[in-house]
Amino acid sequence: MTLSSRKRLRRSTLLKLVVFFAITGTLTFLIGTQIARVSFGGGGYQVLATFDDVTGLIKGDVVKIAGAPVGQVDSIEVKRGKAVVTLTVQEKFRVPADSEAAIRWRTAIGQRVVYLIPGTSAEKIKDGAHITKTRSVVDIGELVDQMAPLARSLKPEQLNQILTSIYLAMDGNKENVSQLIANVDQLTSTISARRTTLNQILENYTKVTGVIARRDRQIRQMTDNLVELSDAFVRNRKLIDSSLVELGEMFHTSDKLIGQNGDQLEKVVAALAIITAGVDDNVGSVKELLDLTGPKLKRLFSMLDAGDYAEGGVACLTLVDGPCPYPVVLKNYQGDPQSPQTLRKILVGGN
């Protein structure tokens, strides 16, 4: 092998080593940054969120919106028994001011992720704002501790069967489970927003049940009355049936009578219309007639209102000179019984 060939071989080997180390270093750096959860987004705005429990959440954990990474956890501090988490979110993902923050599981080994659930406010959240609506992490360890009595009461084979069934049910359904969790989050958010309405409904229900409890005797009596009424209908079913049949026959007869005498009824209605029109045209004369006949009819009614006998005023007539030999008794009349005005009122009527 010549000297030039050896040099070319060494150069080729050296170049391959340089390329190998460069690629390996780049990949190692990228993997390291992912493990360290370093974000290259650059810039962004910071928000604070206070949680009751942030077990498993550490600095650098991902912040997501609708499953897409939009930021990371900057710091976690404990203030007044609460965990205050500082989040950095990319500037282009400005969420509404009434958004909510929730901690969820990221992996089965305990890694967490902070979800920002956008609200409905028209105002966007400001840099350094504090998110008041939060949901803390669900501690699986505590859940397992709560299931310990159940596990102790089951045989190992039965417990394994339950866990296997749960695994088979969740295997391959990651998206469905995630959607289920999102739906549960949305449901709990809606319930929280409607808390005042739900409390009012519960108060109204309490009032209604209280009124029913106070009116228990009346309700029981009303129920007994309904039972007795139903029994009465049952006992008199034949009578009710015959009554309904007779009512049907009466309606049928009335309909037949009216139908067969439709022409006569039409004539009667037409005649009544003529009479009504005539009275309307001569309302002045009719009023004058009623004014004249009113006192006379009143006098006639007073004469016949005493029972089986007619009682009225009659003028005393005598063929000799001098006053009437019979005493004059006037009822409801004032004045001289011998005057022409009084006699006219007695004979004609009026006061």
Q: How far is CA 290 from CA 25, 268, 284, 304, in A?
A: 124, 25, 10, 20
Highest mean pLDDT pick, 11-25, 64-78, 309-323: 64-78
Measure CA of the first residue to CA of the last residue in the chain; give whole Å: 163
Answer yes or no: is pLDDT of 332 > 60.
no
pLDDT score for 48: 92
Mean pLDDT value of segment 315-323:
67
Query: Is the whole model's pTM more than 0.85, yes or no?
Result: no
Mean pLDDT value of segment 18-38:
68
pLDDT tens for 51-92 read 888 888 888 889 998 888 999 999 999 988 888 999 999 988
CB burial of 152-178 (b: ≥16 within 10 Å; e: otherwise) equals eeeeeeeeeeeeeeeeeeeeeeeeeee
Is 45-142 a domain of CATH 2.40.30? yes
At 40, the pLDDT band (50, 70, 90 cuts) reads: very low
Q: Residue holding tokens 């010549």? A: 2
Better-predicted residue by pLDDT, 161 or 81: 81
Task: Tell me which of 44-58, 185-199, 233-247, 309-323 is least confident.
Answer: 309-323
Answer positive or negative: Cα dihedral of 239, 244, 250, 253: negative
Better-predicted residue by pLDDT, 143 or 271: 271
97 C-beta neighbours (distance < 10 Å), count = 15
- For 205: left if phi > 0, alpha if psi spans -120 to 50, otherwise beta; the answer is alpha
Mean pLDDT value of segment 9-16:
75
pLDDT tens for 208-222 read 888 887 888 888 888
Answer yes or no: is pLDDT of 39 > 50.
no
Structure tokens belonging to residue 130: 């504090």
Query: Cα separation of 95 and 84, whole Å?
Result: 19
Answer yes or no: is pLDDT of 172 > 70.
no
Tell me the backbone φ, ψ of residue 259, rounded to 5 degrees.
-65, -40
Highest mean pLDDT pick, 27-36, 97-106, 250-259, 315-324: 97-106
Q: Is 315 helix (H, G, I), strand (E, B) or coil?
A: coil
pLDDT score for 142: 57
Q: Residue holding tokens 């930021």? A: 71
Mean pLDDT value of segment 45-53:
89
What one-letter code names the amino acid at 281?
D
Answer yes or no: is pLDDT of 316 > 70.
no
Task: Tell me which of 24-33, 182-191, 237-246 is least confident.
Answer: 182-191
pLDDT score for 86: 92
Answer yes or no: is pLDDT of 31 > 70.
no
Q: Is 187 helix (H, G, I), strand (E, B) or coil?
A: helix
- Order the strands of the 100-105 sheet from edge to edge: 130-131, 45-51, 82-89, 68-79, 62-65, 112-117, 100-105, 133-135
The residues spanned by each domain of the chain are: 45-142, 147-193, 285-348
